[in-house]
Amino acid sequence: MNRPAVFFDRDGVLNEDIGYLHERTKFRWTPGAREAVKAVNDVGYLAFVVTNQSGVARGLYEEADVRDLHAWMAEELAAVGAHVDAFEYCPHHPEATVEPYRRSCMCRKPGPGMITNLMNRFQVDPVRSFLIGDRLTDVEAATRAGIRGYLFEGPDLQQFIRSRLSRTG
């Protein structure tokens, strides 16, 4: 049975976008972010994070740093009874300084790859699913994956998500 899902962009949606974030000491949740993930969980939707992480391609940090930060985020969410079903990230960039990461790929938003991979892996219902991002490239990725995309400009992610969940029922 296909389940609906909410795909969250990370930087600028779940946390303040400070540029190339990879350290938990610099991480700041956006207002209502943890509660928004819990609201998604409470209505039975899958919760995913899809994030471009070109800092890896630029040599600013390692993939292990991204995974460690995501594990820490999962712990923080668990403390409020929330969870993310899967974290996906794209470490590639066409102008990378780290050679193995220099490429154009379909997983880097606005490409739909991260979203479609999760949709296939978890048998997601595209009709009731949507993405929340803070850039037009996020919304474009959602459209290309066959789901709705919403632009989040603040201030409170919990209020924003509740109004979107009530529309999709």
Residue 32 has pLDDT above 90, yes or no: yes
For range 115-128, the mean pLDDT: 97
Q: Mark the binding-site residues, compressed into ranges.
A: 9, 11, 90, 92, 105, 107, 134
Torsion sign, CA atoms 138, 140, 146, 152: positive
pLDDT in tens, 41-60: 999 999 999 999 999 999 99
Do residues 129 and 72 make contact, with C-beta atoms less than 8 angstroms apart? no
How many angstroms separate the CA atoms of 145 and 28, rounded? Answer: 29
Tell me if residue 9 is catalytic.
Answer: yes
Q: Output b/e per residue, 17-37; b: 16+ Cβ within 10 A.
A: beeebbeeeebebbebbbbbb
How many angstroms separate the CA atoms of 166 and 143, rounded? Answer: 20
Structural domain spans, the chain: 5-130+138-168
Do residues 73 and 84 make contact, with C-beta atoms less than 8 angstroms apart? yes
Residue 167 has pLDDT above 90, yes or no: no
Residues 6 or more apart in contact with residue 75 via CB below 8 angstroms: none
For range 10-36, the mean pLDDT: 97
Q: Give percent of the chain with pLDDT exceeding 70.
A: 99
Q: What angle do CA 87, 91, 97 make, to 5 degrees?
A: 165
pLDDT in tens, 135-155: 999 999 999 999 999 999 999
In whole numbers, what is the pLDDT of the chain averaged over residues?
A: 96
Q: Mark the binding-site residues for Zn(2+), compressed into ranges.
A: 90, 92, 105, 107
Q: Which fold has domain 5-130+138-168?
A: Rossmann fold (3.40.50)
For range 103-128, the mean pLDDT: 97
Per-residue confidence at 166, pLDDT binned at 50, 70, 90? confident
Tell me if residue 42 is catalytic.
Answer: no
- 11, 17, 42, 125: which one is catalytic? 11
Report, in this order, helix, strand and coil percent for the chain, each rounded to 5: 40, 20, 40
pTM beyond cutoff 0.95: yes
